Amino acid sequence: MRMEITYASPSSPDLAALAAMPSSATTKRTVRIIPVQHPTVTNSSSSSSSSSSSSFVFSVWFSKLRKMTWMEWIDSFFPCFRWIRVYNWKEYFQVDFMAGITVGVMLVPQSMSYAKLAGLQPIYGLYSCFVPIFVYAIFGSSRQLAVGPVALVSLLVSNVLSGIADPSSELYTELAILLALMVGILESLMGLLRLGWLIRFISHSVISGFTTASAIVIGLSQVKYFLGYNIDKSSKIIPLVESIIAGADKFSWPPFVMGSVTLAILLTMKHLGKSRKHLRFLRASGPLTAVILGTVFVNIFHPSSISVVGDIPQGLPKFAVPRAFEYAASLIPTAFLITGVAILESVGIAKALAAKNGYELDSNQELFGLGVSNILGSFFSAYPTTGSFSRSAVNHESGAKSGISAIVSGILMTCALMFLTPLFESIPQCTLAAIVISAVIGLVDYDEAIFLWRVDKKDFLLWTITSTTTLFLGIEIGVIVGVGVSLAFVIHESANPHIAILGRLPGTTVYRNVKQYPEAYTYNGIVIVRIDAPIYFANTSYIKDRLREYEVTADTFTRHGPDVERIYFVILEMAPVTYIDSSAVQALKDLYQEYKLRDIQIAISNLNPDVLLTLSKSGVVELIGKEWYFVRVHDAVQVCLQHVRSSERGSNNSSQTSLALSDDKPSFYGQLLKQTGENLPISDLESGKGRSPLSRDRDPHLEPLLSKEH
């Protein structure tokens, strides 16, 4: 027989040796442990804990408000002052002016196209680009975001309002304007109450699947202008396809040829503008080019089979209070849906552009800016608007540095309303439809589906469910199902957290998942488990089931240490546990009692301070015993190994039973003191003041872990 001592990494010279091996051992070793700083729990702190924790967020928020200067208050309500104070007119104005002209040229035909998609007259698309642009330039925090009508919101407006009123009626227009007011109020309230974080629960897979299906529906709804006959208005793909097939005998070649040629021109110009930097202007000028070509063609040849926009009122919109409030209750779900879509599209784009241009963006301020622009826009005949992905990208690529570019676009839109509307009367309907189709083609995100299939099958399933339900059951149901399934996945992951058995990496004091690191080894009689999530009422049962399971499966891994037949200790590594509720506290108490009946001791390592405080207040620390809480997993393993070795030797040298961990027996530290014959107080050893004389004979920079006999 020979003795081999395994050493671990150096310990801090300030750490005290808390105990030594039993005196009967041939070679004794030193156990070094970092003492846990237990919180002091008083009655007053316990009674006020709930109120203080619940008001923590508000106290921090109010303290920030009290510290704000008058300039910071101005910046909060008028973010434009942030860039006005540092604006370099000589360097930035020219690029901002050109970017504004570029976006304005793109915006005029797009706004009319999207108004037609929403079931409104083209003039309301132009109205929606008037007041909201100027208001957002003042209240919005993004310097590159281009606000105005977008395809997805326009489809939502059409899909809901067409079931309430006839698109040709005045009520339909009033409801669209009222919807802008309601969306603006919701966005402003969410911004003021700082509720932008709620949108984080909608996963990117849901957004991608929803926009992909919506883009297909939008494209099919515009096909009627290519085919030359009307089709049923629907947000479901089957009625649209059936209507297209049913009216095939009314097919007309002239609008189809003209629309197809226009679409080909738009896609070619967009591709060249994206792929070649020196042709970047083609991307923005594509819609205007299509409008000019279509208008010239109609004015020269006067084809009777190609329908045109018709009369467009000239002049700026008049101030008018939104009406039809008796329908407000029926529009609330749609207002919430449009608000969610607007937030996802606008805030996501704005944050990406802010990161590229080197400034910070407050998503709640962004919500407030979008809300105010919709509220004030509704008083000037605007329907719901939000940030446009395509126009914002063009604005950024054109070099926009501030909100000046938006103001220039707004001025251009003002000029169009005052002087150019007679020129828009001869724009072919198929040209506007081609502009819409070319814009939504980019929303069909099949690349994302392929990526999700390769990376995460669960996200691919979520993408598939959302896109399928949106296509076949409608937009509202698609969103509800997608968000519901997304939340179900979140709840499932939270209720079934990842739990790992840890083993020691050879030659270190580091403990890692044995499945991830097969070379890691465990110890006989000890199970080390890491819980990788907060513990609360929904996952306590799952965690308890896994802990019972690991008592059995732990024997399948490489094991070192004393040769014992059963589990003596379960060490819970709780570093990832950031929160624990009352249900979890009760589960720990039940687990302790269950283990106690089977002579198994729980040890807990690396607790979060808040979790440790909760356990202290609930009495779990006293129930388990303060000596069983450790800073490191390695400390817990050392102490548990001492117990296992003591139990093994006790059973070999006498007929005594295994070590019992009952309350009437001395603590582990007391047993070690008795074995080593020292009279140092336990408190001194726990605090690190006492030091075993055995440690003086050892190299203080070495930390022996286990004596292995062969």
pLDDT at 650: 60
Q: What is the pLDDT of residues 457-497, one digit of tens each?
A: 999 999 999 999 999 998 888 888 988 898 898 889 889 99
Cα distance between residue 196 and residue 141, in whole Å:
14
Output the pLDDT for position 653: 57
**DSSP result, 464-523:** HHHHHHHHHH-HHHHHHHHHHHHHHHHHHHHHS--EEEEEEPTTSS-EEETTT-TT-BEE
Averaged pLDDT for residues 155-167: 89
Label residue 127 by pLDDT band (50, 70, 90).
Answer: very high
Residue 44 tokens read as 């007053």
pLDDT at 311: 86
- What is the per-residue pLDDT for 216? 92
Three-class SS state of 163: coil
Q: How sure is the predictor about 59, in pLDDT bands with cuts at 50, 70 and 90?
A: low
pLDDT at 31: 59
Beta pairing partners, 5: 707
| Two tokens, residue 301 | 């040849």
pLDDT of residue 33: 74
**What is the per-residue pLDDT for 202?**
76
Q: Which residues have CB under 8 Å from 590's CB, separation 6+?
A: 544
Count Cβ atoms within 10 A of the Cβ of residue 469 and give its class: 0-12 exposed, 13-18 middle, 19 or more buried: buried
- Tens-place pLDDT, residues 562-597: 777 788 899 999 999 999 999 999 999 999 999 999
**Which residue do the tokens 């909060």 mark?**
76
Cβ atoms of residues 588 and 616 within 8 Å: no
CB atoms inside a 10 Å sphere around CB 49: 14
Distance, in Å, from the CA atom of 512 to the CA atom of 322, rounded to the nearest integer, reads 63
pLDDT, average across residues 616-625: 92
In the numeric block, the tokens 């704000």 are attached to 68
Question: All domains of the chain, ordered by start, with CATH?
Answer: 80-491 (no CATH), 499-651 (3.30.750.24)
Instruction: Name which of 145-159, 375-389, 519-533, 687-701 the model is least confident about.
Output: 687-701
* Percent of the chain topping pLDDT 90: 40
Q: Judge residue 299's burial from the number of C-beta atoms within 10 Å of its C-beta, 0-12 exposed, 13-18 middle, 19 or more buried.
A: exposed
Under 8 Å between Cβ of 707 and 21: yes
Give CB contacts under 8 A, 24+ apart, made by 469-472: 470/209, 470/210, 470/213, 470/214, 470/217, 471/213, 471/216, 471/217, 471/236, 471/237, 472/236, 472/237, 472/238
Low-confidence winner among 270-284, 398-412, 499-513 (lowest mean pLDDT): 270-284
Look at 207 and 9; give whichever has higher pLDDT.
207
Percentage above 70 pLDDT, the chain: 81
Q: Are 33 and 605 in contact (CB under 8 A)?
A: no
**Residue 17 DSSP class:** E
pLDDT greater than 50 at residue 662: no
pLDDT in the model for residue 534: 92
What is the rounded average pLDDT of the residues 377-397?
90
pLDDT value, residue 305: 87
pLDDT of amino acid 685? 32
- 143-159: string of b/e by CB count within 10 Å (b at 16+)? bbbbbbbbbbbbbbbbb
Single pTM value for the model = 0.73
The Cα 425–Cα 421 span in angstroms is 7
Longest dimension (CA), the chain: 113
Q: What is the mean pLDDT of residues 124-135?
A: 94
Q: Cα–Cα distance between 224 and 220 in angstroms, integer?
A: 8
